[in-house]
Chains A and B, each alone.
Chain A
Amino acid sequence: MSIEVESLEKRFGSAHAVQGVSFEVPAGSLMALLGPSGGGKSTVLRMIAGLEIPDAGTVRIDGGDVTKLPARARGIGFCFQHYAPFRHMTAWDNVAFGLKIRHRPKAEIAARVDELLELVRLTGFASRYPSQLSGGQRQRMALARALAVEPRVLLLDEPFGALDAQVRKELRTWLRELHEKVAVTTVLVTHDQEEAMEVADRIAVIREGRLEQVGTPAECYNHPASEFVLTFLGPATRIGGTWVRPHDLALTREARPGSRPGKLVRIVRLGFETRVELLLDDGADTWVQLAGRAFDDLHLDIGDRAHVSADRARDFSAVPTASHALASEGPNGAAEASR
């Protein structure tokens, strides 16, 4: 069940929340809508869901135009950041809700609910109320509830945003596994680029209501369509006026051909990696990201002099300041930028 959105527009009062957004989600894939908070990605998701109606543009699910259909007629599943649990019902009843209102036979409902609870690993919690479940459990229940009615597409609005960092990471992995198992076309909204990179088949970067780039995580990371995508998706710093990834830089005591000298200003040890900030002799600030052990072996400290080499770094000099997709608005623009 593929999804196509074309030239979506949405205003809230004087705020232009979504402008000319178009992209496709191939059937069975997982697309992440990634971008800073307030950038319009939730609005796009809600327009796909039918919880908002676009001012202009179309939404197609599986080829059929659903733009003006209300949410309940689109055959979608939706999960909210704060889970939206039906508090007065048990977990079991929550999951069964969609089936009950479709008046399916009791035996069928029971079988399906049990199956889903097992899928999300909540079998023993069926008779608990949402208030008796942890945040992660509530979200898994919400997912089971959404999947119960066999939706054509699954839409997740910052599903892990309200959870602890550790739980978030676990659920991320779990979601990816679930997707492999169930293979429903899924769109996930997130502002966490690590999450998008880890979980999604394709990423659509949305900022200030506009689509910056659509592509696989690797494409977006290594061939960003704009400076924004470059700096948002991963760490970035400047050497000699061009952008590089800090983890592509080499740090040495002695000079090397093409290296730049500087002084260590700050050292941040994160255990698995170390970040070293330097003030280069040409006056620029930069930083280098290296494995913790690698840095220790250098025996460098604050105030010491060292050299930074970018010879093995990917060249981002061709990255435009603003995305092509914005320069040439329209469906072609999106296709171009994803090259």
Chain B
Amino acid sequence: MSLTIPGPGADAAPGPQHIGHSSKLRVAGKVPGPALAATYLSLLVLLPVAALFSKAFDGGSSAFWNAITEPETFSALKLTLVSSLIVVVVNSAAGTMIAWLLVRDARFATNRVIGWLVDLPFAMPTVVAGIVLISVYGANSPFGINVTYTRLAVVIAIAFVTLPFSVRSVQPVLAALDTDTEEAAASLGASPWTTFWRITLPALAPAILTGAGLAFARACGEYGSVSLFSGDLPFKTEVASVRIFGLIESDSVPAAAAVSLALFAISIVVLSIFGLLRRRLLPVEADA
């Protein structure tokens, strides 16, 4: 166990780090670690996505553009974007509220149940989510509410599947938040509402944004639940993922790839905006 033996292919890590470095590579070396991981990643993710990229531009960028601007497709993309944004806003607010209930209102008896219900959509297969929503808000609704074939169905389905993200990204941060600053605000004369709005919420903002990002990405791509619940009416309730599936089924594969890429790009752009917003709040996070 010499301190001075550099690990194989070690980058210039000085001094004592060598021990950790070389032995970690040896641990990873029990299966030739990094190489295998890279292979797995390539075969599973990198290359298939590259194939997607390539297919999207199969007929050149004009074909790509045409595929995206095709009326039915464009409508689907728009619907997806708008619905996802609406849901993210609503669920961020609702999620924060629910996280607050779970963390701060410990004596509220139904908290246990609420916690379970919040997690349920995550563990639930999307088709089941669709069935579950239809059974109450669809054709045989016990309440007489039928929203299938409407855009509201799209929103409800997406809200259902993304709720866990909004709650669970805020909850641990809220739980770990030091109550000192809230007590300090109270000692300075702030009412509970002022304290929440000016002190707690800004501290939670990064976590809320993280949740919003996860929710948005999920919302954009959601298929099973939305497809079942919304009825997939072209130009009305057909979301991007459904449209892509339709294109695949009708063998318009390059177009499907193009729309896939467009959907992905939308996701990335919105996520980057969230990330940027979060970085703007950095003074809060960069604490010694």
Contacts and interface: CB of A to CB of B under 8 A. Distances in A.
The answer to whether A and B touch in the complex, with CB atoms under 8 Å apart, is yes
Interface of A: 49-51, 70-72, 76-78, 80, 82, 84-88, 97-98, 101-102, 129-131, 142, 145-146, 149
Contact of A77 (B181, B187, B281, B286): B187
Q: Which of A78, A84, A88, A130 has the most CB of B within 10 A?
A: A88
Main secondary structure of the interface of B (DSSP, over half): helix
Given A51-B186, A72-B189, A88-B202, 10 more contacts: A71-B183, A78-B183, A78-B184, A80-B184, A82-B180, A86-B185, A87-B284, A88-B205, A101-B188, A146-B188
B4 interface: no
Contacts of B190: 72, 97, 101
15 contacts: A51-B187, A72-B187, A72-B188, A72-B191, A87-B181, A88-B281, A88-B283, A97-B185, A98-B188, A101-B190, A101-B198, A129-B283, A130-B287, A145-B188, A149-B188
Given A84-B180, A87-B283, A131-B287, A71 B187 contact: yes
Interface residues of B, number: 24
Interface of B: 178, 180-181, 183-191, 194, 198-199, 202-203, 205, 281, 283-284, 286-288
Nearest to A100: B198
A207 B187 CA distance: 26
A49 B199 contact: no
Contacts of A86: 181, 184-185, 199
A38 to B, nearest CB: 18
Contact of B180 (A50, A71, A80, A102): A80
Contact of A70 (B186, B194, B205, B287): B186
A102 B191 CA distance: 11
A72 B284 CA distance: 25
B176 to A, nearest CB: 14
A84 B189 contact: no
Contacts of A80: 180, 183-184
Given A87-B203, A88-B202, A98 B183 contact: no
B189 A98 contact: yes
Contact of B181 (A71, A84, A129): A84
